[in-house]
């Protein structure tokens, strides 16, 4: 949806990027301090890889659909 | 209480007691709160950003008809991905097994593909603003008005269902006050829909769709890791059934137990699934419910409008992964704080067994009697009655939040909760934006103020959005006293949606259908549905006639009731049409098959062709049903 200015995919990208940063940062904090949350399968460090996935997707959509490119 | 202020029943005493007494499942940290807050900031920002692009009625109500196939398709699915999808069906899959996936596959995919490939050209070419608008072009004002009023009534009730479900989730998971959740969510929805209209609703639905996957997909992934994959899950399920932790039943096959009503826990026969759900309910909802059709009508071309439901069908087929699978996994992985297997029960049992100040149930005798109707093991029953604290009763509908709390730590839990909030809000916003368009275009413009300026109708649309939210809040308090969310919504579907299907299908594909036939078909179909529902309510033994078996249960009743109402609607329409004068063919151009010249579309490579993707969707749909046969 480009004709309305900012694409919806850009909004999606920004939100996923912010969430990716927050979740990944917490995951790295867990790894560094060994203070894992009291959840099942905490040893898999889901915040690290899930946060990274969100961040990569978010950055892709933010850059690919940035306003200057879609106008 | 707002409920009391508008004359609706207040929250019942036992229910209120149960709600106030049960501790929350999780506590959010600062990170989780930040994740939720960022989401609310984003949706409001989108609303304000799009306000300047919603100045004409075409922009406000139809999003300027500028949506691409992907955006319209994701919005089409997301508008339906509300409370029922996320919590209700996860709970149903815990209770009934993979049978619940029928509502996603046979109960959606054929209808979505039919809408895109067969019906969409007529909706799109006639440039209608709504489904009642199509009825007006085809049959005239009478049937259009009946459809508009019934739809407006249904949407605000559905919006209330979403609102209540969200508030209950927040109460159960976080301990938030019901009123706080209802007010905050409704203010957010009212703000972004009133500001940006349908465009804002669609933008947020796409955003919410991404969030739902980003927040909820981790639960089944980690659940499958814990159980050792699908085969490991089935092995653990078989073990739990053998030990009595899970009631005996076939939880992993969809069609094998459909030979007789008594062979499956839903009490349904395959004819009910195929014709009731797969045709009457599903086609009624996905092809005539303006809530979803409105999203496709906003597409930027006929090809986009046809592709949108096809794209949506792929995502719809995948939704059971984040909804049905967590419910199934809950059967084997959920445990009480003492390590014993957790057994979920109906909401009525949770309420009856709500704890008193002393720790045990307020009414031990009633609780004991309620527990006796369940498959809860004796040890669990004794712990609940003793109020020892290490065994807490939870309802089926809590299975998804319970699974989230099990696997998701700080940040991820906030994301999961945001996914739930997003799902609920997209359901609410979808209903409110559809209500606004229907009221303005099909009730206000033709019957109240006919020839006003365009900006007058935009202003009315903004005001009606606010009014719709206020009525929804009232409906939310009404729903608190309903026996169960699912039954309530299923009943609404068959009241209004299924009869409409009969009228729209005949109108679209039979030139002979007349104005009187459409009106009386719609009215009689709706009355039939309401009458059958009332009959069974008044005399439960009537179920054997409505659902054609004494072994039928509620779900089957809904399906057959929908089927009878479609048959009535079509039958009355045909009979009345044969005795009344049809419209001349010249007046049916662009609304009826056979007299509507369809625009020729530019050729595209096969991988961009809608028929290619429809064929792939059909093959995938068949494969899923065969694999889980």
Q: Which residues of B542-553 are buried (b: 16+ CB within 10 A; e: fewer)?
A: ebeebbebebbb
pLDDT > 50? residue B613: yes
pLDDT > 70? residue B84: no
CATH at B242 = 1.20.1730.10
The per-residue pLDDT for range B446-487, each reduced to its tens digit, is 889 888 898 899 999 999 999 999 988 888 887 776 545 545
Question: Are B356 and B473 members of one domain?
Answer: no
DSSP B362: S
Question: Are B407 and B378 members of one domain?
Answer: no
Question: Are B444 and B373 members of one domain?
Answer: no
| Beta partners for residue B439, in sequence order | none
Question: Are B373 and B471 members of one domain?
Answer: no
Is-contact A11 B42, C-beta < 8 A? Answer: yes
Question: Are B124 and B265 members of one domain?
Answer: yes
Place of tokens 């300027």: B64
pLDDT > 70? residue B421: yes
User: For chain A, which residues make up each domain, given as ranges?
Assistant: 8-70
State whether A18 and B411 contact (CB < 8 Å).
Answer: no
- Using pLDDT thresholds of 50, 70 and 90, give the confidence band for residue B590: confident
pLDDT > 90? residue B228: yes
Give B449-514 as a 3 state SS string. Answer: CCCCCHHHHHHHHHHHHHHHHHHHHHHHHHHCCCCCHHHHHHHHHHHHHHHHHHHHHHHHHCCCCC
State whether A1 and B408 contact (CB < 8 Å).
Answer: no
State whether A8 and B214 contact (CB < 8 Å).
Answer: no
pLDDT > 60? residue B11: no
Question: Are B171 and B214 members of one domain?
Answer: yes
Q: Which two tokens stand for residue B451?
A: 């020839």
pLDDT, greater one: A20 or B392: A20
Question: Are B113 and B191 members of one domain?
Answer: yes
Question: Are B25 and B122 members of one domain?
Answer: yes
How large is the ipTM? 0.92
- By Cβ distance, the residue of B67, B214, B218 closest to A46 is B218
Q: What percent of chain B has pLDDT over 90?
A: 29
Q: Which residues of A touch B (CB under 8 A)?
A: 1, 3-6, 8, 11-12, 14-16, 18-19, 22-23, 26-27, 30, 36-42, 44, 46-47, 50-51, 54
Question: Are B142 and B42 members of one domain?
Answer: yes
Q: What is the pLDDT of residue B487?
A: 59
Q: How far apart are CA A52 and CA A45, in angstroms?
A: 11
Residues of B in contact with A16 (CB under 8 A): 210, 214
Q: How far apart are CA B31 and CA B105, in angstroms?
A: 37
Question: Are B387 and B525 members of one domain?
Answer: no
- For residue B65, is it within any domain? no
Q: How far apart are CA B336 and CA B578, in angstroms?
A: 64
Is-contact B428 B163, C-beta < 8 A? Answer: yes
Q: Averaged over B399-428, what is the pLDDT?
A: 87
Is-contact B70 B223, C-beta < 8 A? Answer: no
pLDDT > 60? residue B490: no
Q: What is the pLDDT of residue A2?
A: 44
Q: Averaged over B58-84, what is the pLDDT?
A: 83
- Using pLDDT thresholds of 50, 70 and 90, give the confidence band for residue B81: confident
Question: B411 to chain A, minimum CA–CA distance in Å?
Answer: 5
- For residue B340, is it within any domain? no
3-state SS assignment for residue B67:
strand
Of B482, B573, B496, the closest CA to residue B527 belongs to: B496
Q: Which domain holds residue B368?
A: 347-393
Task: Give the dihedral of Cα atoms B126, B128, B130, B135; nearest 10 deg.
Answer: -60
Q: How far apart are CA B15 and CA A45, in angstroms?
A: 39
CA-based nearest residue in chain B for residue A21 = B411
- Using pLDDT thresholds of 50, 70 and 90, give the confidence band for residue B15: very low
Q: What is the pLDDT of residue A46?
A: 94
Angular region, B97: left φ>0, alpha ψ -120 to 50, beta rest: left
3-state SS assignment for residue B395:
strand
DSSP B601: P
- For residue B63, is it within any domain? no
Question: Are B368 and B407 members of one domain?
Answer: no
pLDDT > 60? residue B405: yes
The per-residue pLDDT for range B109-159, each reduced to its tens digit, is 999 999 999 888 888 888 788 888 888 888 888 888 888 888 888 888 878
Phi, psi values for residue B13, rounded to 5°: -60, -50
Q: How far apart are CA B527 and CA B364, in angstroms?
A: 43
Q: What is the pLDDT of residue B2?
A: 29
Q: How far apart are CA B578 and CA B592, in angstroms?
A: 17
Q: How far apart are CA B382 and CA B367, in angstroms?
A: 11
Q: What is the pLDDT of residue B235?
A: 95
Question: Are B137 and B169 members of one domain?
Answer: yes
Q: How far apart are CA B526 and CA B499, in angstroms?
A: 6
Residues of A in contact with B199 (CB under 8 A): 4
Q: What is the pLDDT of residue B16?
A: 33
The 10 Å Cβ neighbour count of residue B540 is: 10
Question: B198 to chain A, minimum CA–CA distance in Å?
Answer: 13
- Using pLDDT thresholds of 50, 70 and 90, give the confidence band for residue B373: confident
Give B476-493 as a 3 state SS string. Answer: HHHHCCCCCHHHHHHHHH
Average per-residue pLDDT in chain B?
Answer: 85
Q: Which residues of B touch A (CB under 8 A)?
A: 31, 34-35, 38-39, 42, 46, 49-50, 53, 64, 66-68, 71, 199, 202-203, 206-207, 210-211, 214, 218, 222, 225-226, 333, 405-412, 415
Question: What is the tally of structural domains in chain B?
Answer: 2
pLDDT, greater one: B495 or A8: A8
Q: How far apart are CA B262 and CA B556, in angstroms?
A: 11
Measured between its terminal Cα atoms, the distance across chain A in Å is: 11
Q: In terms of C-beta density within 10 A (0-12 exposed, 13-18 middle, 19 or more buried), how is residue B470 classed?
A: middle
**Contacting residues for A43 by C-beta, under 8 A, at least 6 apart:** A36
Is-contact B266 B257, C-beta < 8 A? Answer: no
Of B88-102, B294-308, B315-329, B352-366, the least confident: B352-366
State whether B226 and A40 contact (CB < 8 Å).
Answer: yes
The per-residue pLDDT for range B182-196, each reduced to its tens digit, is 888 888 888 888 888
Place of tokens 């089927």: B563
Q: How far apart are CA B356 and CA B21, in angstroms?
A: 8
- Using pLDDT thresholds of 50, 70 and 90, give the confidence band for residue A4: low
């Amino acid at each position: 949806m480009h004709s309305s200015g900012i694409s919806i995919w850009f909004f999606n990208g920004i939100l996923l990027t912010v969430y990716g940063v927050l979740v990944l940062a917490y995951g790295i904090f867990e790894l560094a301090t060994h203070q894992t949350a009291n959840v099942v399968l905490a040893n898999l460090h889901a915040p690290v890889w899930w946060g990274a996935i969100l961040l990569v997707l978010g950055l892709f959509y933010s850059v690919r659909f940035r306003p200057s490119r879609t106008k | 209480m707002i409920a009391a202020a508008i004359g609706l029943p207040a929250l019942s005493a036992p229910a209120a007691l149960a709600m106030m007494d049960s501790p929350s499942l999780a506590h959010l940290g600062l990170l989780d709160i930040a994740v939720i807050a960022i989401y609310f900031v984003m949706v409001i920002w989108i609303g304000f950003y799009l306000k300047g692009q919603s100045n004409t009625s075409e922009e406000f109500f139809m999003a300027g008809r500028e949506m691409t196939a992907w955006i319209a398709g994701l919005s089409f699915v997301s508008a339906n991905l509300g409370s029922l999808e996320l919590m209700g069906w996860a709970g149903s899959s815990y209770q009934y097994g993979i049978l619940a996936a029928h509502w996603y596959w046979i109960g959606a995919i054929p209808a979505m593909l039919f809408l895109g490939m067969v019906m969409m050209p007529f909706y799109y070419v006639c440039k209608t603003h709504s489904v009642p608008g199509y009825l007006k072009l085809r049959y005239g004002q009478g049937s259009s008005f009946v459809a508009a009023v019934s739809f407006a009534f249904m949407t605000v009730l559905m919006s209330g269902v979403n609102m209540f479900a969200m508030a209950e989730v927040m109460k159960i998971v976080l301990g938030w006050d019901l009123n706080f959740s209802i007010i905050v969510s409704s203010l957010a929805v009212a703000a972004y829909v009133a500001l940006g209209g349908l465009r804002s609703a669609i933008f947020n639905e796409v955003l919410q769709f991404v969030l739902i996957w980003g927040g909820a997909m981790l639960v089944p992934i980690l659940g499958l890791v814990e159980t050792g994959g699908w085969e490991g899950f089935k092995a653990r399920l078989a073990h739990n059934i053998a030990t009595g932790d899970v009631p005996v039943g076939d939880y992993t096959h969809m069609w094998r137990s459909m030979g007789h009503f008594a062979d499956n826990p839903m009490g349904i026969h395959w004819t009910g699934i195929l014709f009731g759900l797969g045709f009457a309910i599903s086609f009624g909802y996905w092809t005539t419910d303006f809530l979803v059709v409105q999203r496709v009508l906003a597409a930027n071309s006929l090809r986009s409008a046809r592709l949108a439901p096809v794209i949506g069908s792929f995502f719809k087929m995948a939704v059971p992964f984040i909804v049905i699978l967590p419910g199934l996994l809950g059967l084997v992985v959920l445990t009480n704080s003492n390590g014993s297997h957790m057994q979920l029960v109906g909401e009525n049992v949770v309420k009856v067994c709500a704890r008193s100040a002393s720790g045990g149930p307020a009414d031990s005798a009633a609780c004991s009697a309620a527990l006796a109707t369940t498959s809860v093991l004796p040890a669990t029953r004794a712990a609940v009655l003793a109020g020892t604290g290490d065994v807490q009763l939870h309802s089926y509908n809590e299975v998804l939040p319970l699974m989230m709390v099990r696997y998701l730590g700080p940040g991820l839990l906030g994301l999961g909760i945001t996914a739930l909030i997003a799902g609920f809000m997209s359901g609410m916003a979808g209903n409110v934006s559809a209500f606004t368009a229907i009221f303005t275009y099909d009730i206000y413009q033709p019957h109240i103020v006919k020839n006003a300026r365009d900006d007058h109708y935009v202003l009315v649309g903004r005001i009606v959005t606010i009014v719709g939210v206020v009525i929804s809040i009232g409906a939310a308090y009404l729903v608190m006293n309903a026996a169960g969310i699912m039954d309530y919504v299923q009943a609404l579907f068959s009241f209004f949606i299924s009869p409409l299907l009969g009228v729209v299908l005949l109108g679209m594909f039979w030139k002979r259908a007349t104005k009187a036939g459409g009106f009386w078909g719609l009215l009689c179909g709706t009355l039939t549905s309401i009458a059958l529902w009332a009959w069974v309510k008044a005399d439960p033994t009537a179920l054997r006639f409505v659902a054609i078996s004494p072994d039928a249960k509620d779900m089957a009743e809904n399906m057959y009731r929908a089927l009878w109402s479609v048959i009535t609607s079509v039958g009355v329409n045909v009979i009345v049409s044969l005795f009344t004068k049809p419209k001349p063919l010249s007046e049916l151009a662009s609304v009826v098959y056979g007299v509507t010249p369809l625009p020729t579309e530019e050729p595209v490579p096969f991988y961009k062709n809608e028929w290619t993707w429809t064929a792939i969707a059909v093959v995938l749909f068949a494969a899923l049903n065969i694999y889980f046969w």
